[in-house]
Structure 1
Amino acid sequence: MVTLINVIKKFSDHTAVDNISFEANQGEFLTLLGPSGCGKTTTLRMIAGFEEPTSGNILLNGEDVSHNHPYERDVNTVFQNYALFPHMNIFENIAFGLKIKKLSKDDIKKKVKDALRLVRLEGYEYRMPNEISGGQKQRVAIARAIVNNPKVLLLDEPLGALDLKLRKEMQIELKHLQQKLGITFIYVTHDQEEALILSDRIAVMNKGKIEQIGVPNEIYERPKTKFVASFIGETNLFEATVDHISADQATLILETNNKIFVKDPSLKTESLSRGSKISIAIRPEKMKLSYSTVNDKNILTGKIKERIYVGSVNKTIVTLFNGKEVIINETMDTSLALNNKNSDVYVSWKYEDGVVIL
């Protein structure tokens, strides 16, 4: 439904978007995820037509719209700040685009009521924007966008101004709404958890480039770059040198001088040899603590630096004997009972839980 081909956007001597290409399929929820200044909002604005690409092509349903005006594209945008007309009631706000299209009064009334029902705001037609909550305003903004039945809905951090509880509620509602409508959503956020919850696929952006694009569990479980590994959730990163390699298995020497073993399918596709430099990422929930060694696992030793209670999880920071710190997350029912803060412990993980990053 949306295709970007080698798109570049420069502002003076600054390259905001640096030669990116991707596709968003019909009915897909695609999220552009990354830190502030990575180019995700600029990318969305180019798809919407608010910015022109310096070079490259933007296709909508196979048609090149790279230089079309926003009103010439069958897309609608939902902004973080709602952008409701304060002098219009809710009905008038939602109906505005339909009136511009010169639809009949009966058609407008039906479409507005259908849109209000979809966002669960029936009965709010004649309230003013200053008479409803932030979450309700955001629903109105979404209703105003979907009432025109666009091929693509673009959402620029639409939940960013909401409090945490309401934000989580709206995430679920937004996902259900997208599934009901069956139209393509392209969503911009810097919130990793939000991206994992909402998306069919995630494009992780950094410094104007797409570092990785894939389904949520692939992005989380098999990050391809150090940035993706560290930006999506917590991770423990080690630098390593290949000591021996065979197919998808390798023996590595860590920066801590420990020898470990790794099994990773990506090793099969890379030309690595003894002495090759790589990185290893291990998620905190994949690591375990114990007071004794464990067979058939990679093991490091260290001292407990800090223990943090986070609801159902105990977060433990361990300082290894070379000074490097690692984080271990354990559920309350599997958490190690610690004697004191400076306890000597073993940190272990399974061979297949170490992800190779080249």
Structure 2
Amino acid sequence: MESMVELVDIVKSFKDQSAVDHISAKVRKGEFLTLLGPSGCGKTTTLRMIAGFEEPTSGEILLDGVDVSSKSPHERDVNTVFQNYALFPHMNIFNNIAFGLKIKKMNKKEIQEKVTRALSLVQLEGYEDRFPSQLSGGQKQRIAIARAIVNSPKVLLLDEPLGALDLKLRKQMQFELKHLQRKLGITFIYVTHDQEEALTMSDRIAVMNKGRIEQIGVPDEIYERPRTKFVADFIGETNIFEGRLKEKEGSKAITEIEDGQVINVVDDKEKIDEIKIGEVVVFAVRPERMKVSYEKVANRNTLKGKFKERIFVGSINKTVVLLSNGREVVINEPAVDTLGINEDIDDLYVYWDQQDGVVII
């Protein structure tokens, strides 16, 4: 598939510090790509460079095959939606949306048609004569999106646009934004620090840390097969173990963890081949892949521990088990399937299938 945006070895330095450190990535035409990471990881700086608000220290930014690295924002066929909406308070909704079209000196009939269609796409028909002060937060965000898409840009950049909304409205807007993107076929590049938001909306996710892209892939790959300890720990909950490689059997790593117990991890053979006997193996297991039992379970990875606590979180129960080496393991189970633990009998076994672990670096 053709690329709409290509970042080629991009560096952005402020004085002697690198905000973005040699990143390269391709964003496909019509794709919803999310830049995900904690505060200060470089995701917003990357977005601002694509928009033209920041110039890269080195590297190239290609838009539809054309180098736009040194072009100003108005020379790039991109629009940006900000978290703070940036609506003009003295203009009604029609004029807010039409502002860019008027700058381009379009005729009144074409402006009317484009504004009407944009309002229809964000489901706010009939709001033309209202002012921003008369709208709710969710409505303001929709108008900001309508203003951005009315110009039919090649790329729409969104910088944490749902961050100011309450949880229920934010979840609703996530689905609406994804539906809108599919309907328009415009390339979306979305910035967020919210892992659930990224997993819900994205075609692909680029996980950033300390100015670099640690992993880029489809949501289920990022979640189920994280490549690094940071990605495993940042995306959702995970249990991370360390041990030493005892043996290798094809794609299976036979590992002895800190308290002497042996764990089998099945992963890509190429990844296992890179680890030498005796070297440290770090692997992760998601809490929903683990279960608890009063007895050792045959043909499963099993660790003995003691019950510490149980936390009710709506539809799931979190069980915390303390292993003999002092590590805590969290197990997430549907509330209806949870073992009825007698807290007076605190010895438990934690178990999981060997293919549910993933080796990380």
Q: TM-score range by the shorter chain?
A: over 0.9
Structure 2: distance between partners of 1:299 and 1:272: 23
Say if 2:321 is the partner of 1:310.
Answer: no
State the 4+ residue runs in structure 1 displaced beyond 6 angstroms: none
Say if 2:60 is the partner of 1:57.
Answer: yes
Structure 2: distance between partners of 1:192 and 1:319: 27
Q: 1:189 aligned to 188, 192, 197, which one?
A: 192
Deviations 1:165-224 (A, max 9, x none): 000000000000000000100000000000000000000000000000000000000000
- Note if contact 2:255-2:281 (Cα within 8 Å) is conserved in structure 1: no
Structure 1: distance between partners of 2:272 and 2:156: 38
Deviation at 1:273, TM superposition (A): 2.3
Q: 1:9 aligned to 12, 20, 42, which one?
A: 12
- Note if contact 2:248-2:272 (Cα within 8 Å) is conserved in structure 1: no
Structure 1: distance between partners of 2:179 and 2:344: 45
Structure 1: distance between partners of 2:36 and 2:79: 20
Q: 1:36 to 1:160 in 2, by over 3 A?
A: same
Structure 2: distance between partners of 1:235 and 1:328: 9
Match of 1:251? 254
Q: 2:121 aligned to 105, 108, 118, which one?
A: 118
Deviation at 1:116, TM superposition (A): 0.1
Match of 1:83? 86
Structure 2: distance between partners of 1:155 and 1:254: 44
Say if 2:213 is the partner of 1:210.
Answer: yes
Give secondary structure in 2 for the equivalent of 1:158: coil
Match of 2:26? 23
- Note if contact 1:303-1:345 (Cα within 8 Å) is conserved in structure 2: yes
Say if 2:175 is the partner of 1:172.
Answer: yes
Structure 2: distance between partners of 1:221 and 1:272: 21
Say if 2:212 is the partner of 1:237.
Answer: no
Deviation at 1:332, TM superposition (A): 1.6
Deviation at 1:143, TM superposition (A): 0.2
Structure 2: distance between partners of 1:226 and 1:260: 18
Higher alpha-carbon deviation: 40-49 or 304-313: 304-313
- Note if contact 2:97-2:146 (Cα within 8 Å) is conserved in structure 1: yes
Deviation at 1:42, TM superposition (A): 0.1
Match of 2:354? 351
Give secondary structure in 1 for the equivalent of 2:84: coil
Structure 1: distance between partners of 2:273 and 2:64: 36
Q: 2:70 aligned to 47, 62, 67, which one?
A: 67
User: What residue ranges of structure 1 are gaps of 5+ in the alignment?
Assistant: none
Deviation at 1:86, TM superposition (A): 0.4
Say if 2:201 is the partner of 1:198.
Answer: yes
Deviations 1:53-79 (A, max 9, x none): 000000000000000000000000000
- Note if contact 1:244-1:251 (Cα within 8 Å) is conserved in structure 2: yes
- Note if contact 2:253-2:272 (Cα within 8 Å) is conserved in structure 1: no
TM-score normalised by length of structure 2: 0.98
Q: 1:65 to 1:341 in 2, by over 3 A?
A: farther
Higher alpha-carbon deviation: 157-166 or 304-313: 304-313
Structure 2: distance between partners of 1:268 and 1:45: 36
Aligned residues with identical type, % of pairs: 67
Structure 2: distance between partners of 1:342 and 1:109: 72
Structure 2: distance between partners of 1:271 and 1:186: 34
Give secondary structure in 1 for the equivalent of 2:56: coil
Q: 2:141 aligned to 138, 161, 173, which one?
A: 138
Deviation at 1:246, TM superposition (A): 2.2
Structure 2: distance between partners of 1:355 and 1:219: 12
In structure 2, give the amino acid aligned to 1:61.
Answer: D
**Aligned residue pair count:** 358
Structure 1: distance between partners of 2:254 and 2:41: 36
In structure 1, give the amino acid aligned to 2:80.
Answer: T
Structure 1: distance between partners of 2:357 and 2:271: 15
Deviation at 1:258, TM superposition (A): 1.1
